[in-house]
Amino acid sequence: MIMGGVLENHSDAVFVLHGLNESASSRQIYFSLALASYVVTLLVNVTLIVTVCVEKTLHEPIYIFLCNLCLNGIFGASTFYPKLLSDLLAEVHVISYAGCLTQIFAVYGYVFCEFASLTVMALDRYVAICWPLRYRAVMTPRTVARLLALTWCLPLLETACGVALTARLPLCGRHIHKLFCTNWEVVKLSCVDTTANNIYGFALMFLHVSQAGLIVVSYAHLVHAAVRSHSVRRKFVQTCMPHLLTLLIFTGSLLFDTLFSRYGGGGQLQVLQNMLAVEFLVVPPLVNPVIYGINLQQIRWRIVHNFTQKDVAPPDSH
């Protein structure tokens, strides 16, 4: 209910999503494409996770971290696709206030977990290539468990703080011009000063830019090591190139979403905006397991062996 321009009761508020307005005429086509994309995303991620779990030779830190990345990919895709599929079948696209905050928490939790996972994987590759003789001593099961916990606990905590800051804001509107709820879209509806939200947002930006910087520094050392040694160069191409591709795809996707959220226009560009805005939720979860499945010999061999049942000797894990 709105009193004097302010939503009187947040719990009763309902947001209207306008992202699908320009897509009504092709709703069945988009529903089929979205459903197929979601199913394939789940299939490729689950296949890689199961492959690593059942194959004891793959119980190594790099493959465990990869499974964690795939789990986060499933989590990210599931924050977006079910609601999108539901909206494609509905005439009116709405979401409750609680549902909107929940979706914001899930989407940003996925984003921050992705960055944390990629940072941990970069650390693992740095130790494996630059300190190969100390790798087992550094990447112990306890260390791996702690790093895995860190990739989830810290991102979810910082996301919860951001959602709490947004939840305290009184709102003067209920129209969101996107396919899904984002923190920026809800904050823009506020009737009061949002300086605290902006400061916290810049703090998170600094933190994750620092993470990206850490990854870049680690790769500078890896490239230097790869230039000097043929064996290191081979390991770099097999295990680090997929990681670098994953990082570039995810960062590029987020960049598209940020630019179009703040500076994108509407009207005839609505469909293009929708495609670019959801890229970070659609592309990385789908292509990450494919990239790693193709480039990592142990995983590629095990998947091919499971599907073809051919008795072929596994590749050398070293």
261-315 per-position pLDDT tens digit: 665 555 555 666 677 778 888 888 988 888 877 666 677 777 676 666 555 545 5
Q: Is residue 6 part of a domain?
A: no
Q: Is residue 63 part of a domain?
A: yes
The yes-or-no verdict on residue 118 having pLDDT over 90 is no
Q: Is residue 261 part of a domain?
A: yes
Domain holding 286, by residue range, is: 12-308
Q: Is residue 315 part of a domain?
A: no
pLDDT at 3: 44
Segment 165-224, tens digit of pLDDT: 999 888 888 888 888 888 888 988 888 888 888 888 888 878 877 777 778 777 777 777
Residue 141's pLDDT band (boundaries 50, 70, 90)? Answer: very high
pTM of the shown model = 0.85
Q: Is residue 64 part of a domain?
A: yes
Q: Is residue 51 part of a domain?
A: yes
Residue 4's pLDDT band (boundaries 50, 70, 90)? Answer: very low
pLDDT at 39: 96
Place of tokens 């996972």: 117
Looking at every residue in the chain, the average pLDDT score rounds to 81
Burial class (CB within 10 angstroms; exposed 0-12, middle 13-18, buried 19+) of 177? middle
Q: Is residue 3 part of a domain?
A: no
Q: What is the CATH number of the domain that holds 29?
A: 1.20.1070.10
Q: Which is it for strands 6-7 and 2-3: parallel, antiparallel or unpaired?
A: antiparallel
Give the number of domains in the chain. 1
CA distances, 159 to each of 152, 164, 211 (Å):
11, 9, 16
